[in-house]
Amino acid sequence: MQKRRYNVRRISASELMFTPPEGAAEYKREDYKILCKSTPIPIYKIPSNLLFKQYRPGWRRPTLWCGWAVGEEKLLELVQTNYPHRVLRNNSSKTVQRLNTVMELPSIINEEFKVPEKFRERVMVTEVWNSQGEMCLALVVGNNFMNIIGKGEIALISKAFFDGEPPGWSLCTARWRWTRQPMTVAERVRLRKECLFIRPDPKVTNDPEASKDAVPLSDSCA
pLDDT along the chain (222 residues), means of 10: 40 72 92 96 92 75 97 97 94 90 97 95 98 97 95 96 97 95 75 51 41 31 28
Buried b (16+ CB within 10 A) or exposed e, 23-40: eeebbeeebbeebbeebb
Q: What is the pLDDT of residue 58?
A: 80
Domain positions in the chain are: 63-175
Residues β-bridged to residue 89: 96
pTM: 0.78
Q: Which long-range contacts (CB under 8 A, 24 or more apart) does 116-123 make?
A: 116/149, 116/150, 119/149, 119/150, 119/153, 121/146, 122/146, 122/147, 122/148, 122/149, 123/149
Convert 68-99 to b/e letters by CB count within 10 Å (16 or more is b).
bbbbeebbbebbeeeeeeeeeeeeeeeeeebe
Of 216, 211, 144, 205, the residue nearest 20 (C-alpha): 205
Closest by alpha carbon to 118, among 144, 158, 146? 146
Query: 77-90 pLDDT, tens per residue?
Result: 999 999 999 999 99
pLDDT at residue 52, rounded to an integer: 74
> 170: part of which helix (H) or strand (E)?
strand 168-172
Neighbours of 210 (CB within 10 A): 7
